[in-house]
DNA sequence: GAATAAATCCCCCATTAAGGGGGAGCCCCG
DNA sequence: CGGGGCTCCCCCTTAATGGGGGATTTATTC
């Protein structure tokens, strides 16, 4: 035997897409579609019986959204993996899906080959994202390269964002308390703010830290 | 004509791997290996002439590491894309590569097919990660599901981590200053800390926020 | 060579925030 | 009925913050 059967459940309100997925997966060796549902509510009622290894989930479902469904599925079946397959590629939805516990995110232009490949990757203990999703995720890690803040100022603002106070920052950087204070004054002037919270917010909005 | 030629430069110290990549890419229609280098220093000297669309970069180079080389390459050629191809898959290295400006990260067990696919994905305006890298990245977004903190406490600690003070948090949550203070006392007790900075650090280390 | 930015340090000042102590009422769930 | 969660109240001292005004030195740039 090559590998155990992968038990898959599909949650998708569009019948054509749902049956398309069922057909696509059903014909593949080692993969089995246990059940399909058109709403998250229906799926959640039956999932414990179905006991799937992987749930393919749309986000644009009527009633409970796929995003809301993720933590509920995860609490019912903690070891079940979730692959989001959807047309929605807004940054907000993608990040909420991933923080809520999804192991993969494909946008719907993904080919049949890509979908099967993602399922394989996820089942082999990894995760998977389509190229446009990966781009958003990677971009979220990157800094603005045209920061108005100097290197030292950026460094100090990062420490402030960790909740450290001036004295601690000064000690760690081997500089005087007053020097840290001066840097903070300059940071506030450059960002046009007057408090820690505003500086942190502004800096994060502009990817300065 | 299908598409313009993609100009690729390879930076890799292992000759066998370097020539393997060169052969793999060179035989593909639409892709051209302009040059290969065994160190980042050599590559950086010549990159402006080579003017590549994409640089395949190892991280474990002698001398300047691939990680350090990324921002230097990006400042020389801002529109050149960088694909990391390496055996190193430690969390720290991966995140440093992505924050420094890499558009993709493949670990070296990636097949020839996967490598070409990644190059195509990146060139088509996206990004790419191998499954194990994607897993680390996604995991970094997710919370610990066994938090000792209550929902309210987590929420308040998140606001503290944004640099907000008790009064502002109280106003935003429509509760009293003293209530916020009580929550903070309970947070500190649960995390066994005695300051904002320690609470934030402990919470982040344990993915509570 | 002068101007500029960055990084360092030094005073003044008043106000606010933080942390620790103790206590208490209400609600819900098991 | 007990405990966790959420809410609010009082006491207290110390630490931190934000704004004002400087100064010096070292690089780098024009």
Residue A62 vs residues A37, A74, B115, B208: alpha-carbon distances, Å: 12, 20, 39, 31
Q: What confidence score (pLDDT) does residue B3 get?
A: 58
The pLDDT tens digits of the residues spanning B3-56 come to: 579 999 999 999 999 999 999 999 999 999 999 999 999 999 999 999 999 999
Q: Is nucleic acid strand D under 7 Å from B179's C-beta?
A: yes
- Residue B205 burial (CB count, 10 A): 9
Q: Looking at the predicted structure, is the pLDDT value of residue A96 above 80? A: yes
The pLDDT tens digits of the residues spanning B19-33 come to: 999 999 999 999 999
- Mean pLDDT for A110-116 is 91
The pLDDT tens digits of the residues spanning A149-161 come to: 999 999 999 999 9
Q: Looking at the predicted structure, is the pLDDT value of residue B1 above 80? A: no
Q: Is nucleic acid strand D under 7 Å from A182's C-beta?
A: yes
pTM of the model: 0.89
What percent of chain A clears pLDDT 90, i.e. is strictly above it?
91
Q: What DSSP element (H or E) covers B6? A: strand B6-11
What percent of chain A clears pLDDT 70, i.e. is strictly above it?
98
Place of tokens 């950026």: A154
Q: Which nucleotides of D are covered by protein (CB under 7 A)?
A: 4-10, 15-23
If pLDDT is split at 50, 70 and 90, which confidence band does A205 have? very high
**CB under 8 A, 24+ apart: contacts of A167-176:** A168/B197
Nearest CB to A196; choose among B135, B163, B200: B163
The pLDDT tens digits of the residues spanning A97-112 come to: 999 999 999 997 788 9
What percent of chain B clears pLDDT 70, i.e. is strictly above it?
98
| Cβ–Cβ gap A162/B130 under 8 Å | no
CA–CA dist A30, A21 (Å, integer) = 15
- Mean pLDDT for B132-161 is 96
Average of per-residue pLDDT values in chain B: 94
Q: What DSSP element (H or E) covers B84? A: strand B81-86
Q: How far away is chain A from the Cα of B132, in angstroms, using its nearest Cα?
A: 5
Q: Looking at the predicted structure, is the pLDDT value of residue A1 above 50? A: no
Q: Which residues of A touch B102 (CB under 8 A)?
A: 138
Q: What confidence score (pLDDT) does residue A89 get?
A: 85
SS3 assignment for A23-90: HHHHCCCCEEEEEEECCHHHHHHHHHHHCCCEEEECCCCCCCCHHHHHHHHHHHCCCCEEEEEECCCC
The pLDDT tens digits of the residues spanning A49-85 come to: 999 999 999 999 999 999 999 999 998 999 999 999 9
Pairing of strands B81-86, A6-11: unpaired
Q: Is nucleic acid strand D under 7 Å from B152's C-beta?
A: yes
**CB under 8 A, 24+ apart: contacts of A17-24:** A17/A58, A17/A108, A21/A56, A21/A85, A21/A115, A24/A112, A24/A115, A24/A116
3-state secondary structure of A129: strand
Nearest CB to A134; choose among B99, B101, B128: B128
User: Among all strands, which nt has the closest C1' to A197 (CA)?
Assistant: D17
Q: Looking at the predicted structure, is the pLDDT value of residue A2 above 70? A: no
**Two structure tokens written together for A71:** 């933590």
- Mean pLDDT for A23-41 is 95
Asked if A73 and A55 count as a contact pair (C-beta separation under 8 A), the reply is: yes
């Amino acid at each position: 035997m090559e590998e155990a059967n992968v038990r898959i459940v599909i949650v998708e309100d569009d019948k054509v897409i749902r049956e398309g997925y069922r057909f696509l997966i059903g014909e593949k060796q080692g993969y089995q579609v246990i059940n399909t549902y058109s709403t998250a509510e229906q799926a959640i009622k039956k999932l414990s019986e179905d006991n799937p290894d992987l749930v393919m989930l749309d986000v644009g479902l009527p009633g409970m959204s796929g995003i809301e469904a993720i933590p509920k599925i995860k609490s019912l079946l903690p070891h079940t993996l979730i692959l989001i397959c959807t047309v929605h590629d807004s940054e907000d939805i993608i990040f909420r899906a991933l923080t809520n516990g999804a192991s993969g995110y494909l946008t719907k232009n993904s080919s049949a080959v890509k979908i099967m490949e993602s399922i394989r990757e996820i089942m082999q203990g990894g995760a998977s994202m389509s190229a446009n999703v990966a781009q958003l995720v990677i971009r979220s890690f990157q800094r603005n390269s045209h920061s108005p803040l100097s290197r030292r100022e950026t460094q100090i603002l990062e420490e402030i964002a960790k909740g450290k106070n001036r004295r601690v920052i000064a000690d760690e950087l081997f500089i005087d308390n007053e020097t840290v204070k001066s840097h903070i004054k300059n940071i506030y002037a450059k960002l046009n703010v007057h408090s820690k919270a505003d500086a942190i917010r502004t800096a994060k909005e502009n990817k300065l830290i």
